[in-house]
Structure 1
Amino acid sequence: MTDTTTTTTDTTATTTRHSALIPLPEKAARYGTLGGAVLTAAATFMAWTWTAEFPGDLTVTGYPGGLQVLTLIGALITLLLGLSALGIRGLRWLTPGGTTAPTLLFALGTLGTTGYTLGAISYRLGGVVNLEPGAWVAGIAALLTTLCALGLPADEPDPDATDAWARFRNTLKAPPARPATITLPSWAEILVIAVAFGIALYVFTYGIDTEYVELFTGFLILVLFGGVALTKTGLPARLTALTAKHRTIALTAAFVAAAAFPFTQTNDTYTNVAANILVFATVALGLNVVVGLAGLLDLGYVAFLGVGAYAAALVSGSPDSTIGVHFPFWAAVLTGAAASLVFGIVIGAPTLRLRGDYLAIVTLGFGEIFRITMNNLDGDSGPDVTNGPNGIPNIPDLEIFGFNLGETHTVLGVDLGRFANYYLLMLVFTIIVVTVFRRAGTSRIGRAWVAIREDETAAQAMGINTFRLKLLAFALGASLAGMAGTVQAHVQYSVTPDQYKFVENAPPNSAFLLAAVILGGMGTVSGPLVGAALLYLIPAKLQFIGEYQLLLFGVALILLMRFRPEGLIADRRKQLEFHETDQLDVPEQRLPDEPAVTKAGA
């Protein structure tokens, strides 16, 4: 009995040692991680360079600034996660899932942000000689923190992880979040939801308000690692359970937080970016009806956005409109949505009997036909309707109930400029689209769409009229895109054919819209919104990537398909489809004299 116990203990110790990438005693790894995080945080209060030529003024001793703030935040969160792993009272709630994976990921994020800062200082100022001792201390401390974090035992040790890469991947795994031991009252749960969306608003506002490229790049690095780390802690799983329990309150809190964004801005510089993000996100959510629910690969969806924009531009009183009419706002919106709806039915009726790649090619052709047609309706190559390549400029600002969206208005003591007004208007349209998507997805028609997406032949055999329902999805998605196009035409003052290409450097276009749905998570409400925000915000802030944008975009999609094919925010169905489950082994049938063998063992 003693020998068996000793053998078991030795095996466990060996497994624990092999589960860590760097063989360190557990106490040394834990306290080394804590000490490194404290030293990294302390180094942010020292000067990192001697000149203020580098943006953010990193020359001051006594308080951090610019990129130092990001390093400080990363180090403090790493410290909190490390203390949580020690079981300190009041901090264990931070990690209902695991402790090692989130600690390591935040340590890597802090190291990445710090290393990028040191490299940016050296590159911009002309060498490492421009680094002050505080920068070296921060870099070495962040590296020490990461090395010690790599020595932490995995949350779920795997004895089969023998090589370095397998042990590293095993270290990044986290067990499912433990169920909450304390049941909160309803008001406390609602408060948690409100605080979570408040934090999300602050993070988004901080990112969009970054004044220079270096700060946004450092922010992006920390958010990338931090976002993955948060999923490993298990906190998002608990928050998801709360939002599912209080779904209406969660959606209300989300839109209240979004509506508060213009009130955090002092000018329209970044509100313009936010307004265009909402246009892009709303159109992506409309495409999610077609691709995410019905499973129809549409590569020409941006054409429906263009149909709505052109229809609204023709009837909104532009002096360059060939029609010469001026509809009120609501009539212009209905005109744009109705025009896209008609085009969706006209294009979908003869083409939706196709499937897969054939349907994708036809829709791609429709997108190009629309752009070329708008280009040729100039009075020379065809009737004078759209002014050809010149488009329809000078579209007047909308006026709703005497409220001119092109003028500055003071609301609650805050001056809201033109783009802030359009941002709030677009937010209303986003609410409408989200409501339509939710209602459609949970209805009988929505379940039929999902059945068609999973297996069209089986759905047809069960009595579902697949053609009619696919046409309905196509028409609904087209009308939602046309509705967003009416606002886009007024936000940008003009519409031209070149705005609606399949691929171009600036979204929205069909390729980026489809990527936003896939990146965020098909079939979900928040997935396309998050994916569209990332795909629009990153090129808008990192303008230096220029012509390398599509290359980096392709690399990002390849990595996503490799490591998270279900998207950033995936529903339960996609997670079960793309990842192994922890279901119990089912014993196979056997003869009475045969030993029991499970399917996993077989």
Structure 2
Amino acid sequence: MTTQTETQKTDAPRGAINLPDGAPRILVAAGAIGTIASTFMSWTWTSEFPGDLTVYGYPAGLQVVALVAGAITLLFGLRLWDVRGLRWLNPAGAASPLLLAALAAFSVCWFAAIAIAVDLGGLANLDPGAYVAAVASALPVVGALALPHPGHSVKDYLTAPDQPAPTRDLAPWVQRLVITAGIALALIAFTYGIGINDDDSETFVGFALLVLFATWALVHAGQLARFSTLCARHKGFAAGMAFLAAAIFPFTQSDDHNANLGVNILIFATVALGLNIVVGLTGLLDLGYVAFLGVGAYAAALVSGSEFSRFSGVQFPFWAAALTGMAASLIFGVLIGAPTLRLRGDYLAIVTLGFGEIFRIAVNNMDGSSGPDITNGPDGIPSIPDLEIFGFNMGVSHEIAGFTLGRFANYFFLMLLITALVVLVFTRAADSRIGRSWIAIREDETAATAMGINGFRVKLIAFALGATLAGLAGTVSAHVTYSVVPSPYQFAGAAPPNSAFLLAAVVLGGMGTVSGPLLGASFLYLIPEKLTFLKEYELLAFGIALVLLMRFRPEGIIANRRQQLEFHETGQLDIPEQQSLPDSTTGASKATKAGA
């Protein structure tokens, strides 16, 4: 009869490590505890490294990130010991979530050690805490690789199940409590990430590694799938909690610069959501969409009362300026879409790309010498006054419940309301008859036309609606930035918003979804702001990220179910066989026991 150890070795994938029974559990627990303990030690002798990692007993900078990574690894590791109350964390008992959690701590600790050595000039700058962190964080990785796993190569560890393991139903109030806790955790993570100083790129890289591997582990454990199911079951409650969490964000910031990042992320995300109607729902490739943002911004700037405006004596209230920007973008959307939407595929993409460049060149030449005096040419329209809504001046700090909200925090709340409005329009339109027509056009325009759908009219409505939403965001953008200039409105540039980044936000986040473009826009705007050393190589890193995304997850981070099925071969999304973790008493897996 085959022994348990022999069976475990036979089932282990290539690249796995064979250890005696019980050793993986000890390695994981010891390594996780050692990683946590190392964060209370000094990692370097000098405070020149960002974060001041010289203090004993007080984690800071990358040590805080490593502490969280070690705690997550310990939680997944305690599942090996069958600790009561932690079975929900990894119900299927798969080995891959533990490995990914261990890789989070390993990558953070080793990145920190390498960064200290490179920035300060040698390994001599590492204190004992850094060595302890490097060794301790490697032990859980070894322990996780030694666990039995149903596969034949290490690549099998990276394949997540399509469906989560079944769990017992929760009471409705518990489900709402889980949704609240998940959204609160997301708010804490976002607040910490955006609060990292712009010159502290090392800490942000470590934070990004933690978020990447921890999220990956939760995906493999089925937690994100279950959370999505709960949010879909309580859609109104989840949307309300998400809106509340966003409204709380300005009160967590003492620096108005972070509120500035927040309002610009909302502007970028709102425009990306409008583009999602054109690209995600209708399937039209628009490479000049940022021009509609520019049309709305210039239209609002011309009636803002700026002394440099061609109509300097005209100052519309906000609601009128917003309607002006939306109407201008709507008109341009119809004028451009009417003659071009009879084209398909690459031809439509080329025409929209040309429109975007024509808009930028046109406003650049409307300076009174090369063309009519409307936009002041390259100088744009500066000195745009702040908005005043119902006597509330957006440019003045205000005291609310003991918190001081600066100028950008005021605009953040305004943009949050506009984002909520755009989300409502998107969801209502997608669920309507016209939304189903958009999806039919995206799937097969010929078949949709044969079934009686007026393809041209449906596409023109999508084009016009997307342009209108972009014009609304452009109205706020003009007042937030104090000025409007032609340079940002191009296909690809040094920083968003531009058409390439907007399209990438939709594709990265997930086409056809609501939360996908919001998440993609947040990533693409926040990462360049924090990783300042990538300024010269930003487009290179951006291109590599898109290639990797298209290779491993073409449906985006938050996948639309229909498109997820389209992007994968038949059977690829079937639920794979799950391998249980070792039993708490014998160390052998349940599957191994059954085989014996």
The two structures share one fold, judged by TM-score above 0.5: yes
- Per-residue CA deviation, residues 46-96 of structure 1 (Å, 9 max, x unaligned), is 111112222222112223221111111111111110111332210001113
1:15 to partner: Cα distance: 4.1
3-state SS of 1:78 partner: helix
Q: Are 1:367 and 2:356 an aligned pair?
A: yes
Shift in alpha-carbon separation, 1:344–1:143, aligned structure 2, 3 A: same
375-384 or 183-192, which deviates more = 183-192
Match of 1:391 among 339, 364, 380: 380
- Per-residue CA deviation, residues 97-142 of structure 1 (Å, 9 max, x unaligned), is 4541111111112111111111121122221101111111110111
Partner Cα distance (2:21, 2:554) in 1 = 34
Contact kept, 8 Å, 1:97 with 1:235, in 2: the verdict is no
RMSD: 1.7
Match of 1:134 among 129, 132, 156: 129
The residue number in structure 2 matching 1:307 is 295
The residue number in structure 1 matching 2:22 is 27
The residue number in structure 2 matching 1:203 is 189
Shift in alpha-carbon separation, 1:440–1:49, aligned structure 2, 3 A: same
Partner Cα distance (2:383, 2:28) in 1 = 60
496-505 or 21-30, which deviates more = 21-30
Match of 1:508 among 487, 497, 503: 497
Contact kept, 8 Å, 2:334 with 2:460, in 1: the verdict is yes
3-state SS of 2:297 partner: helix
Q: Are 1:223 and 2:218 an aligned pair?
A: no
The residue number in structure 2 matching 1:90 is 85
The residue number in structure 2 matching 1:551 is 540
Shift in alpha-carbon separation, 1:30–1:504, aligned structure 2, 3 A: same
Match of 2:454 among 450, 462, 465: 465
The residue number in structure 2 matching 1:415 is 404
Q: Are 1:249 and 2:237 an aligned pair?
A: yes
Q: Are 1:168 and 2:167 an aligned pair?
A: no
Partner Cα distance (1:437, 1:417) in 2 = 30
1:153 to partner: Cα distance: 1.7
Match of 2:170 among 178, 184, 209: 184
- Per-residue CA deviation, residues 147-189 of structure 1 (Å, 9 max, x unaligned), is 22222222xx13xx2xxxxx111123344312221x3222221
Contact kept, 8 Å, 1:341 with 1:479, in 2: the verdict is yes
167-176 or 136-145, which deviates more = 167-176
- Per-residue CA deviation, residues 265-286 of structure 1 (Å, 9 max, x unaligned), is 1121111111111110110000
Partner Cα distance (2:467, 2:293) in 1 = 8
Match of 2:278 among 287, 290, 295: 290
3-state SS of 2:470 partner: helix
Match of 1:59 among 35, 54, 58: 54
Tell me the TM-score normalised to structure 1 length: 0.92
1:20 to partner: Cα distance: 6.1
Partner Cα distance (1:297, 1:535) in 2 = 20
The residue number in structure 2 matching 1:600 is none
Partner Cα distance (1:583, 1:338) in 2 = 45
Structure 2, gaps ≥5 residues long: 576-596
Q: Are 1:237 and 2:225 an aligned pair?
A: yes
Partner Cα distance (1:351, 1:26) in 2 = 67
Contact kept, 8 Å, 1:50 with 1:59, in 2: the verdict is yes
Contact kept, 8 Å, 2:8 with 2:148, in 1: the verdict is no
Match of 1:443 among 432, 435, 438: 432
Contact kept, 8 Å, 1:299 with 1:364, in 2: the verdict is yes
Contact kept, 8 Å, 1:20 with 1:152, in 2: the verdict is no
3-state SS of 1:65 partner: coil
Structure 1, gaps ≥5 residues long: 1-5, 162-166, 586-602
3-state SS of 1:320 partner: coil
With a CA cutoff of 8 Å and minimum separation of 6, indicate the structure with the bigger relative contact order.
Answer: 2
The residue number in structure 2 matching 1:164 is none
Where in structure 2 are the equivalents of 1:308-327 lying within 5 Å? Answer: 308-324=296-312, 325-327=314-316
The residue number in structure 1 matching 2:479 is 490
The residue number in structure 1 matching 2:11 is 16
The residue number in structure 2 matching 1:108 is 103
Partner Cα distance (1:313, 1:95) in 2 = 54
The one-letter amino acid of 1:486's match is T
Partner Cα distance (1:266, 1:10) in 2 = 57
- Per-residue CA deviation, residues 382-419 of structure 1 (Å, 9 max, x unaligned), is 11111111111110000000000000011111110000
The one-letter amino acid of 2:51's match is G
Contact kept, 8 Å, 1:374 with 1:386, in 2: the verdict is yes
The one-letter amino acid of 1:318's match is S
3-state SS of 1:18 partner: coil
- Per-residue CA deviation, residues 216-271 of structure 1 (Å, 9 max, x unaligned), is 11101111111111111111111111111110110010010011100001121111
1:12 to partner: Cα distance: 4.9
Partner Cα distance (1:415, 1:583) in 2 = 50
Partner Cα distance (1:419, 1:312) in 2 = 19
444-453 or 187-196, which deviates more = 187-196
Shift in alpha-carbon separation, 1:26–1:153, aligned structure 2, 3 A: farther
The one-letter amino acid of 2:166's match is P
The one-letter amino acid of 2:99's match is L
196-205 or 110-119, which deviates more = 110-119
The residue number in structure 2 matching 1:592 is none
Shift in alpha-carbon separation, 1:30–1:197, aligned structure 2, 3 A: same
1:7 to partner: Cα distance: 6.7
The residue number in structure 2 matching 1:406 is 395
Percentage of matched positions with identical amino acids: 62
1:335 to partner: Cα distance: 0.3
Match of 2:333 among 344, 348, 359: 344
The residue number in structure 1 matching 2:580 is none
236-245 or 183-192, which deviates more = 183-192
Partner Cα distance (2:82, 2:562) in 1 = 34
Contact kept, 8 Å, 2:382 with 2:484, in 1: the verdict is yes
1:9 to partner: Cα distance: 7.6
10-19 or 413-422, which deviates more = 10-19
Contact kept, 8 Å, 1:16 with 1:153, in 2: the verdict is yes
The one-letter amino acid of 1:277's match is I
1:144 to partner: Cα distance: 2.1
The one-letter amino acid of 2:214's match is G
Contact kept, 8 Å, 1:281 with 1:528, in 2: the verdict is yes
Aligned residues: 570
Q: Are 1:533 and 2:522 an aligned pair?
A: yes
Partner Cα distance (2:509, 2:296) in 1 = 25
1:8 to partner: Cα distance: 11
Contact kept, 8 Å, 1:85 with 1:99, in 2: the verdict is no
The one-letter amino acid of 2:164's match is A
Partner Cα distance (1:253, 1:142) in 2 = 36
1:45 to partner: Cα distance: 1.4
The residue number in structure 2 matching 1:121 is 116
Partner Cα distance (1:245, 1:59) in 2 = 48
The residue number in structure 1 matching 2:584 is none
The residue number in structure 2 matching 1:453 is 442
